[in-house]
Amino acid sequence: MQFEFNIEGMNFTRAGEAAAKIKKALQLVGMEVETVRKALIVAYEAELNIVIHAYHGKLTAEVNSDRVEIKAEDKGPGIPDINLAMKEGYSTAPPNIREMGFGAGMGLPNIERCSDKLEITSEVNQGTQLLATIYNRTSGEK
Amino acid sequence: MQQYFHSVKLDENKCKGCTNCIKRCPTEAIRVRDGRALIIEERCIDCGECIRICPNQAKLAITDSLERLKNYKYTIALPAPSLYAQFEPKTNPEEILGALLTLGFNDIYEVAVGAEAVSMALNNYLQQDHPKPLISSACPAVVRLMQVRFPGLLKHIVSIETPMEISARLAREKAIQQYGLKDEEIGVFFITPCPAKVTAIKQPFGEKSYVNGAISMSTIYGELLHRLNSPDTRPVESLSGACGVGWGKAGGENHAIWCNSHLAVDGIHSVINVLEEIERGRLNDIDYLEAQACTGGCIGGPLVPQNLFVARVRMEKLVKKLSSQKTKPLQLPKDPDYFRLTKPILPRPTLKLSEDIDQAISMLEEVERITEDLPGLDCGSCGSPSCRALAEDIVRGHAETAFCIFKLRERLQLLAQEMVNLSLKQPPAMGRAREVEIKEGDTR
Protein backbone atom coordinates (compact mmCIF):
# COMPACT_ATOMS: atom_id res chain seq x y z
CA MET A 1 0.00 0.00 0.00
CA GLN A 2 1.09 3.53 -0.68
CA PHE A 3 1.02 6.87 1.15
CA GLU A 4 1.61 10.18 -0.55
CA PHE A 5 2.20 13.61 0.94
CA ASN A 6 2.76 16.99 -0.63
CA ILE A 7 5.49 18.97 1.09
CA GLU A 8 5.88 22.73 0.87
CA GLY A 9 9.28 24.39 0.94
CA MET A 10 10.02 26.54 4.01
CA ASN A 11 6.89 25.45 5.87
CA PHE A 12 8.52 24.45 9.14
CA THR A 13 5.32 24.41 11.16
CA ARG A 14 4.10 21.34 9.29
CA ALA A 15 7.48 19.68 8.88
CA GLY A 16 7.45 16.19 10.31
CA GLU A 17 3.74 15.55 9.87
CA ALA A 18 4.18 13.20 6.93
CA ALA A 19 6.89 11.25 8.76
CA ALA A 20 4.66 10.97 11.84
CA LYS A 21 1.80 9.57 9.77
CA ILE A 22 4.10 7.06 8.12
CA LYS A 23 5.35 5.93 11.53
CA LYS A 24 1.81 5.42 12.83
CA ALA A 25 0.94 3.39 9.74
CA LEU A 26 3.99 1.17 10.14
CA GLN A 27 3.11 0.53 13.77
CA LEU A 28 -0.44 -0.41 12.79
CA VAL A 29 0.93 -2.81 10.22
CA GLY A 30 3.12 -4.36 12.89
CA MET A 31 6.52 -3.71 11.33
CA GLU A 32 9.57 -4.55 13.43
CA VAL A 33 10.63 -1.88 15.93
CA GLU A 34 13.92 -1.29 14.08
CA THR A 35 12.20 -1.01 10.69
CA VAL A 36 9.82 1.60 12.08
CA ARG A 37 12.71 3.52 13.67
CA LYS A 38 14.77 3.56 10.48
CA ALA A 39 11.85 4.35 8.17
CA LEU A 40 10.79 7.21 10.43
CA ILE A 41 14.26 8.78 10.37
CA VAL A 42 14.55 8.39 6.58
CA ALA A 43 11.09 9.87 6.02
CA TYR A 44 11.69 12.73 8.46
CA GLU A 45 15.08 13.70 7.04
CA ALA A 46 13.79 13.46 3.47
CA GLU A 47 10.77 15.55 4.39
CA LEU A 48 12.95 18.17 6.06
CA ASN A 49 15.31 18.27 3.09
CA ILE A 50 12.39 19.26 0.89
CA VAL A 51 11.25 21.86 3.43
CA ILE A 52 14.73 23.36 3.79
CA HIS A 53 16.07 23.17 0.25
CA ALA A 54 13.27 22.79 -2.29
CA TYR A 55 10.31 24.83 -3.48
CA HIS A 56 7.93 21.95 -3.11
CA GLY A 57 7.96 18.20 -3.34
CA LYS A 58 6.27 14.89 -2.78
CA LEU A 59 7.02 12.22 -0.22
CA THR A 60 5.81 8.70 -0.92
CA ALA A 61 5.96 5.64 1.30
CA GLU A 62 5.31 2.24 -0.22
CA VAL A 63 4.60 -0.34 2.46
CA ASN A 64 5.15 -4.03 1.80
CA SER A 65 5.41 -6.82 4.32
CA ASP A 66 9.14 -7.28 3.66
CA ARG A 67 10.19 -3.67 3.07
CA VAL A 68 9.36 0.02 3.18
CA GLU A 69 10.30 2.21 0.23
CA ILE A 70 10.48 5.93 0.75
CA LYS A 71 10.59 8.17 -2.25
CA ALA A 72 11.15 11.92 -2.16
CA GLU A 73 10.88 14.00 -5.30
CA ASP A 74 11.24 17.75 -5.32
CA LYS A 75 11.34 20.78 -7.54
CA GLY A 76 14.25 22.84 -6.41
CA PRO A 77 17.87 23.87 -6.87
CA GLY A 78 19.11 20.25 -7.01
CA ILE A 79 22.43 18.95 -5.69
CA PRO A 80 25.53 19.80 -7.79
CA ASP A 81 27.81 17.28 -6.07
CA ILE A 82 26.02 14.32 -4.47
CA ASN A 83 29.22 12.82 -3.03
CA LEU A 84 29.95 16.05 -1.22
CA ALA A 85 26.36 16.29 0.03
CA MET A 86 26.65 12.80 1.52
CA LYS A 87 29.50 13.95 3.79
CA GLU A 88 28.62 14.43 7.45
CA GLY A 89 28.49 18.08 8.39
CA TYR A 90 28.47 19.37 4.83
CA SER A 91 25.49 21.65 4.37
CA THR A 92 24.29 24.33 2.03
CA ALA A 93 21.59 25.46 4.44
CA PRO A 94 21.68 29.23 5.02
CA PRO A 95 22.45 30.63 8.50
CA ASN A 96 18.82 31.42 9.33
CA ILE A 97 17.92 27.74 8.90
CA ARG A 98 20.89 26.64 11.01
CA GLU A 99 19.81 28.98 13.76
CA MET A 100 16.56 27.02 13.94
CA GLY A 101 18.61 23.92 14.65
CA PHE A 102 18.19 22.44 11.19
CA GLY A 103 20.56 22.01 8.27
CA ALA A 104 23.50 20.65 10.22
CA GLY A 105 24.57 18.55 7.28
CA MET A 106 23.39 15.29 8.83
CA GLY A 107 20.27 14.71 6.76
CA LEU A 108 21.63 12.66 3.88
CA PRO A 109 24.21 10.79 6.00
CA ASN A 110 21.41 9.84 8.41
CA ILE A 111 19.27 8.66 5.52
CA GLU A 112 22.15 6.59 4.21
CA ARG A 113 22.81 5.08 7.64
CA CYS A 114 19.18 4.06 8.07
CA SER A 115 18.51 2.67 4.60
CA ASP A 116 19.50 -0.68 3.19
CA LYS A 117 19.47 0.69 -0.36
CA LEU A 118 19.66 4.30 -1.46
CA GLU A 119 19.51 5.96 -4.86
CA ILE A 120 19.80 9.69 -5.35
CA THR A 121 19.61 11.48 -8.66
CA SER A 122 19.63 15.21 -9.07
CA GLU A 123 19.70 17.86 -11.73
CA VAL A 124 20.83 21.39 -10.93
CA ASN A 125 18.01 23.94 -11.08
CA GLN A 126 15.49 21.15 -11.64
CA GLY A 127 15.22 19.04 -8.54
CA THR A 128 16.21 15.90 -6.67
CA GLN A 129 14.82 12.37 -6.45
CA LEU A 130 15.64 10.03 -3.63
CA LEU A 131 14.62 6.41 -3.22
CA ALA A 132 15.43 4.63 0.03
CA THR A 133 14.61 1.02 0.83
CA ILE A 134 14.41 -0.35 4.36
CA TYR A 135 14.00 -4.12 4.73
CA ASN A 136 11.71 -5.36 7.45
CA ARG A 137 14.03 -7.84 9.14
CA THR A 138 12.79 -9.88 12.05
CA SER A 139 14.76 -8.79 15.07
CA GLY A 140 17.09 -11.37 16.60
CA GLU A 141 15.36 -11.55 19.97
CA LYS A 142 12.22 -13.23 18.72
CA MET B 1 -1.68 -10.85 25.96
CA GLN B 2 -1.26 -11.60 29.65
CA GLN B 3 -3.79 -10.36 32.18
CA TYR B 4 -2.61 -6.96 33.21
CA PHE B 5 -3.20 -5.13 36.47
CA HIS B 6 -4.45 -1.56 36.22
CA SER B 7 -4.75 0.95 38.96
CA VAL B 8 -7.07 3.18 36.94
CA LYS B 9 -10.64 1.91 36.97
CA LEU B 10 -14.09 3.09 36.05
CA ASP B 11 -17.02 3.61 38.38
CA GLU B 12 -19.79 2.53 36.01
CA ASN B 13 -22.51 4.15 38.09
CA LYS B 14 -20.95 7.58 37.85
CA CYS B 15 -19.94 7.46 34.18
CA LYS B 16 -22.27 9.36 31.86
CA GLY B 17 -20.47 8.44 28.67
CA CYS B 18 -19.54 12.08 28.06
CA THR B 19 -16.43 11.42 25.87
CA ASN B 20 -14.18 13.89 27.75
CA CYS B 21 -11.75 11.13 28.69
CA ILE B 22 -11.46 9.57 25.24
CA LYS B 23 -10.17 12.84 23.83
CA ARG B 24 -7.52 13.29 26.51
CA CYS B 25 -6.06 9.78 26.71
CA PRO B 26 -2.49 9.78 25.33
CA THR B 27 -2.65 6.20 24.07
CA GLU B 28 -6.22 6.26 22.72
CA ALA B 29 -7.08 3.59 25.27
CA ILE B 30 -10.66 4.62 26.01
CA ARG B 31 -13.87 4.21 24.02
CA VAL B 32 -17.45 4.96 24.96
CA ARG B 33 -19.70 1.95 24.44
CA ASP B 34 -23.28 1.55 25.66
CA GLY B 35 -23.10 4.99 27.21
CA ARG B 36 -20.09 4.15 29.37
CA ALA B 37 -16.35 4.56 29.10
CA LEU B 38 -14.49 1.36 28.34
CA ILE B 39 -10.76 1.14 29.02
CA ILE B 40 -8.77 -0.95 26.53
CA GLU B 41 -6.64 -2.62 29.16
CA GLU B 42 -3.52 -3.39 27.17
CA ARG B 43 -3.16 0.19 25.98
CA CYS B 44 -3.74 1.94 29.31
CA ILE B 45 -0.55 3.29 30.90
CA ASP B 46 -2.21 4.37 34.17
CA CYS B 47 -1.11 7.98 33.77
CA GLY B 48 -4.32 9.22 35.35
CA GLU B 49 -5.12 11.88 32.74
CA CYS B 50 -8.68 10.52 32.61
CA ILE B 51 -9.03 10.80 36.39
CA ARG B 52 -8.08 14.45 36.10
CA ILE B 53 -10.42 15.26 33.21
CA CYS B 54 -13.54 13.31 34.22
CA PRO B 55 -16.30 15.78 35.19
CA ASN B 56 -18.25 13.05 37.01
CA GLN B 57 -15.44 11.56 39.12
CA ALA B 58 -16.13 8.26 37.43
CA LYS B 59 -12.45 7.41 37.02
CA LEU B 60 -10.67 6.25 40.11
CA ALA B 61 -7.39 4.77 41.18
CA ILE B 62 -7.29 1.49 43.05
CA THR B 63 -5.02 2.05 46.03
CA ASP B 64 -4.60 0.29 49.36
CA SER B 65 -6.33 1.23 52.59
CA LEU B 66 -4.66 1.51 55.97
CA GLU B 67 -6.48 -1.72 56.86
CA ARG B 68 -3.82 -3.65 55.00
CA LEU B 69 -1.21 -2.68 57.61
CA LYS B 70 -2.76 -5.34 59.86
CA ASN B 71 -1.45 -8.09 57.58
CA TYR B 72 2.13 -7.39 58.58
CA LYS B 73 4.06 -7.60 61.80
CA TYR B 74 6.14 -4.56 61.00
CA THR B 75 5.05 -1.76 58.67
CA ILE B 76 7.03 1.04 57.05
CA ALA B 77 5.65 4.14 55.36
CA LEU B 78 7.50 5.47 52.31
CA PRO B 79 6.43 9.09 51.84
CA ALA B 80 7.05 10.43 48.32
CA PRO B 81 8.93 13.75 48.34
CA SER B 82 5.81 15.42 46.92
CA LEU B 83 4.05 14.82 50.27
CA TYR B 84 6.06 17.59 51.96
CA ALA B 85 4.69 20.15 49.50
CA GLN B 86 1.08 19.43 50.47
CA PHE B 87 1.30 21.31 53.75
CA GLU B 88 1.77 24.93 54.73
CA PRO B 89 5.37 26.19 54.79
CA LYS B 90 5.34 26.43 58.60
CA THR B 91 4.81 22.67 58.80
CA ASN B 92 8.24 21.07 58.46
CA PRO B 93 8.99 17.52 57.24
CA GLU B 94 9.69 16.34 60.80
CA GLU B 95 6.11 17.09 61.84
CA ILE B 96 4.64 15.53 58.68
CA LEU B 97 6.62 12.33 59.27
CA GLY B 98 5.50 12.32 62.89
CA ALA B 99 1.85 12.61 61.85
CA LEU B 100 2.31 9.84 59.30
CA LEU B 101 3.77 7.53 61.94
CA THR B 102 0.67 7.91 64.12
CA LEU B 103 -1.48 6.43 61.35
CA GLY B 104 -0.24 3.01 62.42
CA PHE B 105 3.17 2.55 60.85
CA ASN B 106 6.11 1.20 62.84
CA ASP B 107 8.66 3.16 60.90
CA ILE B 108 9.20 5.72 58.15
CA TYR B 109 11.68 5.72 55.31
CA GLU B 110 11.76 8.83 53.16
CA VAL B 111 11.78 8.29 49.40
CA ALA B 112 13.81 11.50 49.18
CA VAL B 113 16.69 9.54 50.76
CA GLY B 114 16.36 6.84 48.11
CA ALA B 115 16.27 9.60 45.49
CA GLU B 116 19.58 10.88 46.77
CA ALA B 117 21.09 7.41 46.44
CA VAL B 118 19.64 7.06 42.92
CA SER B 119 21.07 10.48 41.99
CA MET B 120 24.55 9.23 42.86
CA ALA B 121 24.00 6.00 40.94
CA LEU B 122 22.80 8.01 37.93
CA ASN B 123 25.92 10.19 37.98
CA ASN B 124 27.92 7.01 37.85
CA TYR B 125 25.82 5.51 35.06
CA LEU B 126 25.98 8.67 32.94
CA GLN B 127 29.75 8.46 32.77
CA GLN B 128 29.57 5.25 30.77
CA ASP B 129 28.82 5.03 27.08
CA HIS B 130 25.10 4.98 26.25
CA PRO B 131 22.72 6.02 23.48
CA LYS B 132 21.90 9.71 23.73
CA PRO B 133 19.90 11.13 25.30
CA LEU B 134 19.43 8.78 28.21
CA ILE B 135 15.86 8.84 29.49
CA SER B 136 14.89 8.72 33.16
CA SER B 137 13.17 5.57 34.43
CA ALA B 138 11.58 7.36 37.39
CA CYS B 139 8.08 8.00 36.01
CA PRO B 140 6.35 4.66 35.38
CA ALA B 141 3.66 6.26 33.21
CA VAL B 142 6.34 7.58 30.85
CA VAL B 143 8.07 4.20 30.72
CA ARG B 144 4.77 2.50 29.87
CA LEU B 145 3.99 5.18 27.31
CA MET B 146 7.28 4.31 25.64
CA GLN B 147 6.50 0.59 25.71
CA VAL B 148 3.26 1.25 23.84
CA ARG B 149 4.04 4.19 21.57
CA PHE B 150 7.84 4.52 21.40
CA PRO B 151 9.28 0.98 21.58
CA GLY B 152 12.27 2.11 19.50
CA LEU B 153 13.40 4.34 22.36
CA LEU B 154 13.34 1.77 25.16
CA LYS B 155 17.11 1.31 24.89
CA HIS B 156 17.49 4.96 25.95
CA ILE B 157 15.93 4.35 29.36
CA VAL B 158 18.44 4.20 32.19
CA SER B 159 18.63 0.69 33.57
CA ILE B 160 18.25 1.94 37.13
CA GLU B 161 15.54 1.30 39.70
CA THR B 162 13.27 4.13 40.83
CA PRO B 163 13.78 6.02 44.10
CA MET B 164 10.63 4.33 45.38
CA GLU B 165 12.07 0.82 44.88
CA ILE B 166 15.50 1.74 46.23
CA SER B 167 13.95 3.34 49.32
CA ALA B 168 11.79 0.28 49.90
CA ARG B 169 14.79 -2.00 49.62
CA LEU B 170 16.87 0.14 51.98
CA ALA B 171 13.98 0.33 54.44
CA ARG B 172 13.53 -3.44 54.39
CA GLU B 173 17.20 -4.15 54.86
CA LYS B 174 17.31 -1.72 57.77
CA ALA B 175 14.36 -3.40 59.48
CA ILE B 176 15.81 -6.88 58.97
CA GLN B 177 19.15 -5.77 60.35
CA GLN B 178 17.77 -3.84 63.33
CA TYR B 179 15.03 -6.19 64.49
CA GLY B 180 15.93 -9.52 62.88
CA LEU B 181 12.58 -9.61 61.08
CA LYS B 182 11.75 -11.97 58.25
CA ASP B 183 11.18 -10.42 54.84
CA GLU B 184 7.53 -11.48 54.72
CA GLU B 185 6.81 -9.95 58.13
CA ILE B 186 7.58 -6.47 56.77
CA GLY B 187 4.94 -4.42 54.96
CA VAL B 188 6.27 -1.45 53.00
CA PHE B 189 3.69 1.10 51.87
CA PHE B 190 4.33 3.90 49.43
CA ILE B 191 2.41 7.13 50.03
CA THR B 192 1.60 7.78 46.40
CA PRO B 193 0.76 10.87 44.35
CA CYS B 194 -0.28 8.83 41.29
CA PRO B 195 -1.88 5.62 40.01
CA ALA B 196 1.08 4.72 37.77
CA LYS B 197 3.18 3.98 40.87
CA VAL B 198 0.52 1.58 42.09
CA THR B 199 0.76 -0.32 38.82
CA ALA B 200 4.56 -0.23 39.05
CA ILE B 201 4.29 -2.02 42.41
CA LYS B 202 1.91 -4.74 41.19
CA GLN B 203 3.75 -5.12 37.89
CA PRO B 204 7.33 -4.03 38.52
CA PHE B 205 9.79 -3.31 35.71
CA GLY B 206 12.43 -5.30 37.59
CA GLU B 207 12.17 -8.91 38.84
CA LYS B 208 10.07 -7.93 41.85
CA SER B 209 8.90 -4.94 43.84
CA TYR B 210 10.16 -4.26 47.35
CA VAL B 211 6.93 -2.35 48.02
CA ASN B 212 3.81 -4.15 49.31
CA GLY B 213 1.19 -1.52 48.72
CA ALA B 214 0.38 2.07 47.90
CA ILE B 215 -1.75 4.46 49.86
CA SER B 216 -3.20 7.47 48.06
CA MET B 217 -1.97 10.81 49.33
CA SER B 218 -5.37 12.42 49.00
CA THR B 219 -7.21 9.73 50.99
CA ILE B 220 -5.00 10.10 54.07
CA TYR B 221 -4.54 13.86 53.75
CA GLY B 222 -7.45 14.82 55.99
CA GLU B 223 -6.32 12.40 58.67
CA LEU B 224 -2.76 13.73 58.45
CA LEU B 225 -3.95 17.32 58.89
CA HIS B 226 -5.91 16.21 61.92
CA ARG B 227 -2.93 14.38 63.44
CA LEU B 228 -0.62 17.34 62.86
CA ASN B 229 -2.67 19.33 65.33
CA SER B 230 -2.85 16.52 67.88
CA PRO B 231 -0.69 16.81 71.00
CA ASP B 232 0.22 13.09 70.76
CA THR B 233 2.12 13.58 67.54
CA ARG B 234 5.86 13.80 68.03
CA PRO B 235 8.26 14.95 65.30
CA VAL B 236 10.39 12.28 63.61
CA GLU B 237 13.86 13.13 62.37
CA SER B 238 13.96 13.84 58.65
CA LEU B 239 17.08 12.78 56.79
CA SER B 240 16.15 14.22 53.40
CA GLY B 241 18.46 16.70 51.78
CA ALA B 242 17.58 19.30 49.17
CA CYS B 243 18.72 17.09 46.29
CA GLY B 244 16.42 14.21 47.18
CA VAL B 245 13.35 16.28 48.06
CA GLY B 246 13.67 18.19 44.77
CA TRP B 247 12.76 14.98 42.88
CA GLY B 248 9.18 15.67 43.87
CA LYS B 249 8.84 18.41 41.28
CA ALA B 250 9.67 18.72 37.60
CA GLY B 251 13.31 19.58 37.03
CA GLY B 252 14.37 18.36 40.45
CA GLU B 253 15.84 15.14 39.17
CA ASN B 254 18.00 17.00 36.67
CA HIS B 255 19.07 19.34 39.42
CA ALA B 256 20.32 16.38 41.45
CA ILE B 257 22.55 14.87 38.77
CA TRP B 258 25.56 16.14 36.95
CA CYS B 259 25.85 16.09 33.19
CA ASN B 260 26.73 18.52 30.43
CA SER B 261 23.26 19.09 29.15
CA HIS B 262 19.89 17.92 30.33
CA LEU B 263 16.32 18.53 29.47
CA ALA B 264 13.30 18.33 31.75
CA VAL B 265 9.84 17.91 30.28
CA ASP B 266 6.57 17.48 32.14
CA GLY B 267 2.96 16.86 31.14
CA ILE B 268 2.24 13.72 29.12
CA HIS B 269 1.41 15.51 25.87
CA SER B 270 4.61 17.57 26.04
CA VAL B 271 6.53 14.40 26.84
CA ILE B 272 5.11 12.83 23.67
CA ASN B 273 6.34 15.79 21.61
CA VAL B 274 9.87 15.48 22.97
CA LEU B 275 9.95 11.70 22.55
CA GLU B 276 8.85 12.14 18.93
CA GLU B 277 11.76 14.49 18.45
CA ILE B 278 14.20 11.94 19.87
CA GLU B 279 12.66 9.23 17.73
CA ARG B 280 13.45 11.23 14.60
CA GLY B 281 17.08 11.12 15.62
CA ARG B 282 17.20 14.60 17.13
CA LEU B 283 18.24 15.87 20.55
CA ASN B 284 21.38 13.72 20.66
CA ASP B 285 23.23 16.75 21.96
CA ILE B 286 21.38 16.15 25.22
CA ASP B 287 22.80 13.72 27.78
CA TYR B 288 19.80 13.15 29.99
CA LEU B 289 16.06 13.58 29.70
CA GLU B 290 13.88 13.83 32.76
CA ALA B 291 10.32 13.18 31.59
CA GLN B 292 7.30 13.23 33.85
CA ALA B 293 3.74 12.43 32.88
CA CYS B 294 2.19 14.99 35.21
CA THR B 295 2.48 18.71 34.70
CA GLY B 296 4.75 19.98 37.43
CA GLY B 297 6.09 16.49 38.15
CA CYS B 298 4.89 14.35 41.07
CA ILE B 299 3.45 17.37 42.92
CA GLY B 300 0.99 17.54 40.02
CA GLY B 301 -0.07 13.91 40.40
CA PRO B 302 -3.74 12.95 40.07
CA LEU B 303 -3.80 11.74 43.70
CA VAL B 304 -2.36 14.80 45.42
CA PRO B 305 -4.72 16.99 47.45
CA GLN B 306 -3.03 20.35 46.97
CA ASN B 307 -3.10 22.67 43.96
CA LEU B 308 -0.01 22.14 41.81
CA PHE B 309 1.11 25.76 41.76
CA VAL B 310 0.73 26.21 45.48
CA ALA B 311 2.64 22.96 46.00
CA ARG B 312 5.40 24.13 43.67
CA VAL B 313 6.05 27.30 45.67
CA ARG B 314 6.11 25.29 48.89
CA MET B 315 8.46 22.74 47.36
CA GLU B 316 10.83 25.43 46.15
CA LYS B 317 10.86 27.05 49.59
CA LEU B 318 11.61 23.74 51.28
CA VAL B 319 14.40 22.87 48.84
CA LYS B 320 15.93 26.30 49.38
CA LYS B 321 15.76 25.89 53.15
CA LEU B 322 17.26 22.39 53.02
CA SER B 323 20.09 23.42 50.73
CA SER B 324 21.18 26.06 53.22
CA GLN B 325 21.32 23.45 55.99
CA LYS B 326 24.20 21.10 56.68
CA THR B 327 23.59 17.74 54.97
CA LYS B 328 23.02 14.82 57.27
CA PRO B 329 25.38 11.86 56.91
CA LEU B 330 23.62 9.00 55.12
CA GLN B 331 24.72 5.39 54.84
CA LEU B 332 23.92 4.63 51.21
CA PRO B 333 25.04 1.75 49.01
CA LYS B 334 27.75 2.53 46.47
CA ASP B 335 27.70 -0.69 44.42
CA PRO B 336 26.25 0.09 40.94
CA ASP B 337 24.62 -3.36 40.78
CA TYR B 338 22.46 -2.47 43.77
CA PHE B 339 20.58 0.02 41.60
CA ARG B 340 20.37 -1.94 38.37
CA LEU B 341 17.05 -2.95 36.86
CA THR B 342 17.12 -6.73 36.77
CA LYS B 343 15.10 -7.10 33.59
CA PRO B 344 15.14 -5.32 30.24
CA ILE B 345 12.09 -3.15 29.49
CA LEU B 346 10.35 -4.74 26.50
CA PRO B 347 7.93 -3.27 23.96
CA ARG B 348 4.17 -3.74 24.37
CA PRO B 349 3.04 -3.53 20.76
CA THR B 350 -0.67 -2.96 21.19
CA LEU B 351 -1.33 -0.96 18.05
CA LYS B 352 -0.97 -3.53 15.29
CA LEU B 353 -4.10 -4.34 13.32
CA SER B 354 -3.32 -8.01 12.84
CA GLU B 355 -0.66 -10.56 13.73
CA ASP B 356 -0.34 -11.34 10.03
CA ILE B 357 1.55 -8.54 8.35
CA ASP B 358 -0.04 -8.91 4.89
CA GLN B 359 -3.48 -8.93 6.42
CA ALA B 360 -2.52 -5.88 8.50
CA ILE B 361 -1.52 -4.04 5.33
CA SER B 362 -4.85 -4.68 3.65
CA MET B 363 -6.61 -3.69 6.88
CA LEU B 364 -4.60 -0.46 6.88
CA GLU B 365 -5.76 0.23 3.31
CA GLU B 366 -9.31 -0.19 4.54
CA VAL B 367 -8.61 2.19 7.46
CA GLU B 368 -7.36 4.82 4.99
CA ARG B 369 -10.40 4.39 2.77
CA ILE B 370 -12.88 4.68 5.66
CA THR B 371 -11.03 7.67 7.19
CA GLU B 372 -11.26 9.46 3.86
CA ASP B 373 -15.00 8.89 3.86
CA LEU B 374 -15.63 10.09 7.43
CA PRO B 375 -16.37 13.79 8.10
CA GLY B 376 -13.07 14.45 9.92
CA LEU B 377 -14.68 16.51 12.67
CA ASP B 378 -13.30 14.25 15.39
CA CYS B 379 -16.41 15.00 17.45
CA GLY B 380 -16.21 11.85 19.52
CA SER B 381 -19.94 11.13 19.37
CA CYS B 382 -19.16 7.70 17.96
CA GLY B 383 -17.30 6.86 21.17
CA SER B 384 -13.89 6.78 19.50
CA PRO B 385 -11.36 9.60 20.07
CA SER B 386 -11.15 10.65 16.39
CA CYS B 387 -12.52 9.78 12.95
CA ARG B 388 -9.25 8.01 12.24
CA ALA B 389 -9.58 5.96 15.45
CA LEU B 390 -13.17 5.09 14.50
CA ALA B 391 -11.91 3.84 11.13
CA GLU B 392 -9.40 1.64 12.95
CA ASP B 393 -12.10 0.39 15.29
CA ILE B 394 -14.38 -0.44 12.36
CA VAL B 395 -11.62 -2.41 10.63
CA ARG B 396 -10.82 -4.23 13.87
CA GLY B 397 -14.50 -5.14 14.08
CA HIS B 398 -15.20 -3.14 17.23
CA ALA B 399 -17.40 -0.47 15.65
CA GLU B 400 -19.54 0.21 12.61
CA THR B 401 -19.92 3.13 10.23
CA ALA B 402 -23.38 3.92 11.62
CA PHE B 403 -21.70 4.94 14.93
CA CYS B 404 -20.85 8.17 13.10
CA ILE B 405 -23.87 10.47 13.48
CA PHE B 406 -23.06 12.22 10.21
CA LYS B 407 -22.89 8.98 8.27
CA LEU B 408 -26.11 7.92 9.96
CA ARG B 409 -27.76 11.19 8.88
CA GLU B 410 -26.55 10.71 5.34
CA ARG B 411 -28.15 7.29 5.28
CA LEU B 412 -31.35 8.64 6.80
CA GLN B 413 -31.47 11.33 4.11
CA LEU B 414 -31.10 8.72 1.39
CA LEU B 415 -33.77 6.65 3.02
CA ALA B 416 -36.10 9.68 3.31
CA GLN B 417 -35.49 10.51 -0.36
CA GLU B 418 -36.30 6.95 -1.26
CA MET B 419 -39.55 7.21 0.69
CA VAL B 420 -40.50 10.43 -1.10
CA ASN B 421 -39.75 8.82 -4.44
CA LEU B 422 -41.88 5.84 -3.53
CA SER B 423 -44.73 8.05 -2.39
CA LEU B 424 -44.79 9.78 -5.79
CA LYS B 425 -45.42 6.51 -7.57
CA GLN B 426 -49.16 6.19 -8.25
CA PRO B 427 -51.15 3.02 -8.56
CA PRO B 428 -52.53 2.37 -12.12
CA ALA B 429 -56.08 3.03 -10.97
CA MET B 430 -55.09 6.64 -10.38
CA GLY B 431 -53.25 6.95 -13.66
CA ARG B 432 -55.16 9.95 -14.98
CA ALA B 433 -53.14 12.57 -13.33
CA ARG B 434 -50.14 11.01 -14.99
CA GLU B 435 -51.75 11.19 -18.41
CA VAL B 436 -52.27 14.91 -17.93
CA GLU B 437 -48.63 15.28 -17.03
CA ILE B 438 -47.53 13.50 -20.18
CA LYS B 439 -49.82 15.61 -22.36
CA GLU B 440 -48.45 18.76 -20.88
CA GLY B 441 -45.00 17.49 -21.65
CA ASP B 442 -45.97 16.94 -25.29
CA THR B 443 -47.18 20.45 -25.87
CA ARG B 444 -43.88 21.94 -24.68
Q: Please write the tens of the pLDDT for every residue from B368-407.
A: 999 999 999 999 999 999 999 999 999 999 999 999 999 9
Mean pLDDT, to the nearest integer, of B398-426? 94
pLDDT at A141: 43
Beta-carbon separation of A30 and B354 below 8 A: yes
How far apart CA B320 and CA B430 sit, in angstroms, is 95
Per-residue model confidence as pLDDT tens digits over B238-256: 999 999 999 999 999 999 9
| Nearest chain B alpha carbon to A48 | B280
pLDDT-derived band at A142, boundaries 50, 70, 90:
very low
CB-based contacts of B101: which residues, under 8 Å, 6+ apart?
A: B77, B107, B108, B236
Residue B365 CB neighbour total at 10 angstroms: 14
pLDDT at B425: 86
User: What region, left, alpha or beta, does residue B77 occupy, with left being phi > 0 and alpha being psi -120 to 50 degrees?
Assistant: beta
Q: How far apart are CA B331 and CA B170, in angstroms?
A: 10
CB contact under 8 A, B152 and A25: no
Q: In the prediction, which pLDDT does B428 show?
A: 78
pLDDT in tens, B145-159: 999 999 999 999 999
B34-92, pLDDT tens digit by residue? 999 999 988 999 999 999 999 999 999 999 999 999 999 999 999 999 999 999 999 99
Q: Is A103 on the interface with B (CB under 8 A)?
A: no
Chain B residues whose C-beta is within 8 A of a chain A C-beta are 151-152, 276, 279-281, 347, 349, 351-355, 357-358, 360-365, 367-368, 392
Q: Is the pLDDT of residue B443 over 70?
A: no
Band of pLDDT at residue B441, cut at 50, 70 and 90: low
What is the average pLDDT across B24-39? 95
Interface test with chain B among A29, A38, A40, A106, by most B beta carbons within 10 Å: A29
Q: In chain B, pLDDT over 70 holds for what percent of residues?
A: 96
**pLDDT, position B279:** 95
Judging contacts by C-beta atoms under 8 Å, the chain A residues touching residue B347 are 33
CA quadruple B124, B126, B128, B132: dihedral, nearest 10? 170
Confidence of residue B198 (pLDDT cuts 50, 70, 90): very high
Residue B435: the pLDDT is 56
Mention every residue, 6+ apart, whose C-beta is less than 8 A from residue A125: A77, A78
* Model pLDDT, residue A93: 84
Kindly state the average pLDDT of the residues B166-193. Answer: 97
- Mean pLDDT of the residues in chain B: 93
ipTM here: 0.90
